[in-house]
Amino acid sequence: MSSIPRKRPKVAKDINETIAYQFINGFTRCPVAPDGNCFYTASGFFCGLNANEMRKLLMNYFIFKKAEYSILFESQEDFIKAVKINSITSVWNSELCDIAPHAVAQILKRDIIIHNYNGFIITEIYTPVEFCTAIYQPIHLFRSNDHYEILLDNTKTPNKNIFHLPDVSAFYNLL
């Protein structure tokens, strides 16, 4: 019997790289399905919304604040088109997604801290609430390769990471 040579699995050259990816001090990483809804699932978790509800809320907010956000696009028509495309479940593919954390911070009135893993180290990207004080503690999200996961603060019981959704009646049913 001849044996077939098998490749060994690749192992991180530096155990610290593996630890940096696996562990975020003071937090527990909660997996989220990589289905194009991960940001909405992860951010919606913190206010009790599922991915579809969070997506709808965010797209309505973009329409409500189109004067503020459309300036980041070539035209207001391009902005509206991006909102309509991103209103579809599992779509995460435009410049609109780059500004989604900012908009969610404003909607939830909570700063967002994204722990971004680039393959070597984790850096924190801070997105503050603007024009008012954050009413609740920050939301922490883990991001790697454009995929988001939930980070729960270990100093709190899990339900203490979740806060009620602020009043969104001004823009909830725009789309």
Look up the CATH number of the domain holding residue 135. Answer: 3.90.70.80
Does residue 117 form part of some domain?
yes
Tens of each residue's pLDDT in the chain, 175 residues: 455 555 544 545 555 555 555 678 888 889 999 999 999 999 999 999 999 999 999 999 999 999 999 999 999 999 999 999 999 999 887 788 899 999 999 999 999 999 999 888 889 999 999 988 888 889 999 999 889 999 998 887 666 677 777 777 777 666 5
Residues pairing with 112 in the sheet = 127, 139
Domain membership of residue 124 (yes or no) is yes
Do the beta carbons of residue 130 and residue 104 sit within 8 Å? no
User: What pLDDT was estimated at residue 74?
Assistant: 94
| 150 within a domain of the structure (yes/no) | yes
Token look-up 């070539």 returns 74
Q: Tell me, yes or no, whether 42 lies in a domain.
A: yes
Give the whole-angstrom CA distance, residue 79 versus residue 2: 62
On whether residue 6 sits in a domain, the answer given is: no
| Structural domains counted in the chain | 1
Question: What pLDDT was estimated at residue 1?
Answer: 47
pLDDT attached to residue 59: 96
Q: Which domain holds residue 140?
A: 28-161
pLDDT at 82: 94
Helices (H), 37-117: 38-45, 51-64, 66-69, 76-86, 95-108
Entry pTM:
0.81
